Every structure is written in structure tokens, then in C-alpha cells.
């Protein structure tokens, strides 16, 4: 059975208008639900469902073996899902001076580490 909706004072099911029936329990329940919502909206209000995610941008400085300091930005979401690996692919960092390559990744504890890339 499909869902009955109330739109502009009329009942609809599957986009087709249904006539008002005195004693129809489904229509009465829908009207009561609508009346409750209207009372909440005009009095205290209705709680909002908020999906919140904060993006944190880290500025990371790494020191190359040549002595130059290289700076990169790394974005990370504050939303934590243990099933998702934020750093599924290691990030490659190349020194602007000597062109040595480093890999930036998260270790098992979630800390960022960088290592010299094996060529």
C-alpha cells in the first residue's frame, strides 16, 4: 500500500487525489499529525536535523635531507569513520630544491609521518 499525503488541503496517493471520507482512520491520523506539526511550528518550533562536518586544514613542514624546508597543506575531515581510511593512498611530496621524493601517510596510530621514497 502506498503512502497517503496531504497537499493543499487534499489527500493524494500515488499522485492521484482521493476523496475525503468521514471516519477514514488513515486520513484522520494524517490530519492529526499535520495539526501537531502546525502547533509545533507556531509555538516552540521543530528541532532541525543537522549534518555537520568540519574540514581541518593542516599546514605541514617537512625537512629534506638537503636541508630545505618544504611546506604542504593537508585537509582532513572531522567526521571519523573507522571503516574509511583517510589516507588510503600515500601522498607524494617532492623537495623543490633537490627533487628527492617523500611519502606522507598516516601510521597505525593515526599520526602523520613522512619517509624517504625508495626509488
Q: Is residue 48 in a domain?
A: no
Q: Give 19-60 pLDDT, tens digit per residue.
A: 999 999 999 999 999 998 888 888 878 777 767 777 778 788
Residues 6+ apart with CB under 8 A from 50: none
The yes-or-no verdict on residue 64 having pLDDT over 60 is yes
- Find the domain containing 16 and state its range: 4-42
Q: Which three cell numbers stand for residue 93?
A: 611530496
| pLDDT recorded at residue 78 | 59
Give how far the C-alpha of residue 73 lies from the chain's centroid of Cα atoms, to the nearest Å. Answer: 21
In a domain, 76, yes or no: yes
CB 27 within 8 A of CB 11: yes
Specify the pLDDT at position 46. Answer: 76
Whole-number pLDDT of residue 104: 82
Rounded to an integer, the average pLDDT of 50-73 is 81
Residue 107 lies in a domain: yes
Q: How far is CA 5 from CA 29, 30, 75, in A?
A: 11, 8, 44
Q: Are residues 60 and 102 in the same domain?
A: yes
Band (87; pLDDT cuts 50, 70, 90): very low
Amino acid at each position: 500500500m502506498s503512502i497517503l499525503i496531504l497537499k493543499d488541503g487534499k489527500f493524494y496517493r500515488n499522485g492521484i487525489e482521493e476523496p475525503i471520507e468521514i471516519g477514514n482512520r488513515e486520513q484522520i491520523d494524517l490530519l492529526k499529525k499535520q495539526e501537531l506539526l502546525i502547533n509545533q511550528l507556531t509555538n516552540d518550533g521543530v528541532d532541525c536535523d543537522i549534518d555537520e562536518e568540519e574540514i581541518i586544514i593542516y599546514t605541514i613542514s617537512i625537512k629534506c635531507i638537503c636541508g630545505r624546508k618544504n611546506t604542504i597543506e593537508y585537509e582532513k575531515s572531522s567526521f571519523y569513520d573507522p571503516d574509511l581510511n583517510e589516507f588510503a593512498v600515500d601522498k607524494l611530496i617532492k623537495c623543490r630544491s633537490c627533487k628527492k621524493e617523500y611519502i606522507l601517510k598516516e601510521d597505525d596510530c593515526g599520526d602523520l609521518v613522512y619517509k624517504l621514497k625508495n626509488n
